Structure 1
Amino acid sequence: MEHEFTKIINKILEEQFPEIGKQIFTESQLIGYLNIKTKSANKGSKSRGSFANLYAIYVLVEDYILNNFHQIGMYSDYEGAVYTNIFKRQRELPFGQKLQNHGLNHRMNEEFKKYFPTCEFIPILRNQKNNRYWFNENLLKVKINEKEHNIAQTVIDIIDAYVEAKRDSFEKFIQLCKDAQRLTEEQVREFIKQMVAPTVDARIFEIVSYSILKYYYNDRVIYWGYELDKLQSENLKLFKTGRTNANDGGIDFVMKPLGRFFQVTETVDVNKYFLDIDKIERYPITFVVKSLDSDIEIKSKIEAQARKQYAINAIVSQYMECIEEIINVPILIERFEQAVAQGYLSNILSEIIKLSRLEFNYEDEEESIKIELLEFSVEDELSVNKVRLNQKIFLSCRSCCML
């Protein structure tokens, strides 16, 4: 596989291993894995990064180098890296503040095996009794013309170069969002519509979908209560329950007080839909789908797959009844226009900027977000505080409540 960042990998190899860099690229399965994982480097911020698995490699190879094993050998006698130290270290790295332990514990190994099923070596070695970790040194040694070459520093340099490329892409995206604050209302509307296109990265789509739906539902009021003569009115409020694409088994959005669940997806694979339905005990769920197909077409495709897979009408019907609503891209754009008509364009853009900064770990920037579009006013201080309060509440709730 060759892509734009492959040139950077080859350049690093040629600088560190003159005349044999291309051979190492061909012979090393670890370099091959890094090449696969870095293909999004030059595709902009909307291409998903691969920091979790790359950083699992990084912190262990870095520990290997810091202990000078790449020069003195004797790694087989090493007692192993302490889990708390390497876990802390990966969170110190750029974009690593929210990373979990999945890459270190199993995900990186599983993915490496998927790409290189015939490789006899497991990349990350772990002693579960004392939580010590090693990186398989066999993958750090490449034999070319009967001579062994250690690529530990090369691995670090490749990942560093990838992170720098992604950092540049993210900064450009954040700046693009900020620049949108100075556009006309019509230009901002088109800018936001572009960010829900089917080709957009899943994280961006989820962030923009949430921002749109949050303000679409904002003015809708329901009346409820325990007694007919004591009903109370309450605006619908949509909350984001966690980070985008967190793979944490949670639900993406939840609505109060109706208790509606929303899941964002970019597939029409029946297994994905039914898995989401199963994990909330077949509770009704709304799917926000990154597709231009009509909601009827999407639902028909899911049902057709389900009937082929299960062949029992009762089972299929039970699952299909749990799909409360399907919101595709055209419906999302329609709801965006309705929210704009209610005066929420500035709020939506503000929400996108705020969540994008959080997603891309720009939390160190505490500057307030002020929207100054040419054709409409800024949101008032009360609204700003309300947005911040909602975010703080749900970031706190997520740590003690998994939906």
Structure 2
Amino acid sequence: MENIFTANIKSVLGKHFEKNADDIFDKSQLIQYINEKTRSANKGSKSRSSFANLYAIYVIIEDYIANGYDQKGDYSKYEGALFNKLFARQRELPFGSKLQNHALNNRMNSEFQKYFPSSEFIPILRNHETNRYWINENLLKINLGETSFNIAKAIIEIIDEYAKTKQGAFQRFVKSCEELQEIDKTTPKKIEEFVIGLLAPNIDARLFEIVSYSILKYFYHEQQIIWGFEMDKLNRENLKLYKTGRTNANDGGIDFVMKPLGRFFQVTETLDFKKYFLDIDKIQKYPVTFVIKSTEPTTDLLKKIRDNAGKTYSIKAIVDKYMDCIEEIINIPTINDRFNDAVKQGYLKSILDEIVTQSKVEFNYEDLNEEEED
């Protein structure tokens, strides 16, 4: 299925293969996969980017080209690319500095098979003992009649073009935020509309987490608790919400932590109960508040989780034990309400500032500026 970025893909193929470009586009499973993964290119910074799986392909094909196998040589005799080298390389790429190893190890292959369940090939080949990798050359060589075309360099160029497009989209997003930071105080409505616009079910998961955190941080900011170890020496302390790391970090299933209550928050977009129970297991069944990227009522969300869990676990006591660990469900309407409350408390500009700060950290915005200056 074609999307806006498909024209870019076909343009690259046209440059490399001229009149054969359309046939190669139609016949190549790898190109079709990339076409699907790059559909967010022109949707702006709010849409998913899918860099992990694309960069897994990219770095192995880059190694393939660097060793000249796109021109000649028997790739089947190649010793393979070392994992450490590939992993380091993908983190050098735009938006890749915090990528994990999942795509290289299995995730990319697994997703490819979902798109092409009848395909006899998987893209990434791996020797578990030596930890060396190869690209499946069968997916790089497209046979049209008696002629074989190698699409390796075209794939590199397509992914480069996609990264460049996403960089531009994100830079425009940050600049929009920065412009709003400078806006006259008499027109806060524009800022409110902008932030509310970021709370949508189709928003990029990373932005949703950033915006949710920024709002909840200032919603809880004015709330106080009184605590102490002795009745005559009590402390009065504001609630403070901390972000534990980047959205794709392997942080054990916790995204925000609240002091001094010790509440844990996990942001998610799935309703798969196994994911919820796994996060609960990671912290030894400590209560968790789930922030869900959904507009469904919280009662319906809880019911779906319980009903699905009940189908798998036939023992009610087991389901109850896990469900009791869900301290609270926060959905998009709840976040909107808490945003309005925080705005009434005078924290609109602080929320926007937090979104800008967290976004720059998440997307390595300073690094992108340095690349432009170089």
Q: TM-score, normalised by structure 1?
A: 0.85
Taking the TM superposition and a 5 Å limit, the aligned residue runs for 1:267-278 are: 267-278=270-281
Counterparts of 1:82 and 1:319, CA distance in 2: 41
Find out whether 1:358 has 2:361 as its counterpart.
yes
SS at match of 1:287: strand
SS at match of 2:270: coil
Taking the TM superposition and a 5 Å limit, the aligned residue runs for 1:197-236 are: 197-236=200-239
Taking the TM superposition and a 5 Å limit, the aligned residue runs for 1:3-402 are: 3-183=3-183, 184-246=187-249, 249-364=252-367
Gaps of 5+ in 2: none
AA paired with 1:65?
I
1:258 to 1:91, Cα distance in 2 relative to 1, 3 A:
same
1:253 to 1:36, Cα distance in 2 relative to 1, 3 A:
same
SS at match of 1:122: coil
SS at match of 2:329: strand
CA-CA distance at 1:248 after TM superposition = 5.3
CA-CA distance at 1:238 after TM superposition = 0.8
Q: CA RMSD in A?
A: 2.1
CA-CA distance at 1:41 after TM superposition = 0.9
CA-CA distance at 1:246 after TM superposition = 4.2
CA-CA distance at 1:108 after TM superposition = 1.4
Counterparts of 1:244 and 1:165, CA distance in 2: 21
1:303 to 1:234, Cα distance in 2 relative to 1, 3 A:
same
CA-CA distance at 1:224 after TM superposition = 2.1
Counterparts of 1:298 and 1:82, CA distance in 2: 44
Counterparts of 1:133 and 1:304, CA distance in 2: 42
1:128 to 1:286, Cα distance in 2 relative to 1, 3 A:
same
Counterparts of 1:302 and 1:185, CA distance in 2: 38
CA-CA distance at 1:45 after TM superposition = 0.9
- My pick for the range that moved more, 146-155 or 101-110, is 101-110
Gaps of 5+ in 1: 368-403
1:106 to 1:309, Cα distance in 2 relative to 1, 3 A:
closer
Counterparts of 1:37 and 1:73, CA distance in 2: 30
1:307 to 1:125, Cα distance in 2 relative to 1, 3 A:
closer
1:107 to 1:211, Cα distance in 2 relative to 1, 3 A:
same
Counterparts of 2:124 and 2:303, CA distance in 1: 43
CA-CA distance at 1:94 after TM superposition = 0.9
CA-CA distance at 1:270 after TM superposition = 2.9
Counterparts of 1:182 and 1:198, CA distance in 2: 28
CA-CA distance at 1:305 after TM superposition = 3.1
CA-CA distance at 1:189 after TM superposition = 1.5
AA paired with 1:60?
I
AA paired with 1:99?
L
Counterparts of 2:22 and 2:368, CA distance in 1: 41
Q: TM-score, normalised by structure 2?
A: 0.91
| Partner residue in 2 for 1:378 | none
CA-CA distance at 1:365 after TM superposition = 7.3
Counterparts of 2:323 and 2:83, CA distance in 1: 44
SS at match of 2:19: coil
1:279 to 1:19, Cα distance in 2 relative to 1, 3 A:
same
AA paired with 1:263?
Q
Counterparts of 2:129 and 2:304, CA distance in 1: 47
Q: Number of residues paired by the alignment? A: 367
CA-CA distance at 1:212 after TM superposition = 0.7
Identity %: 60
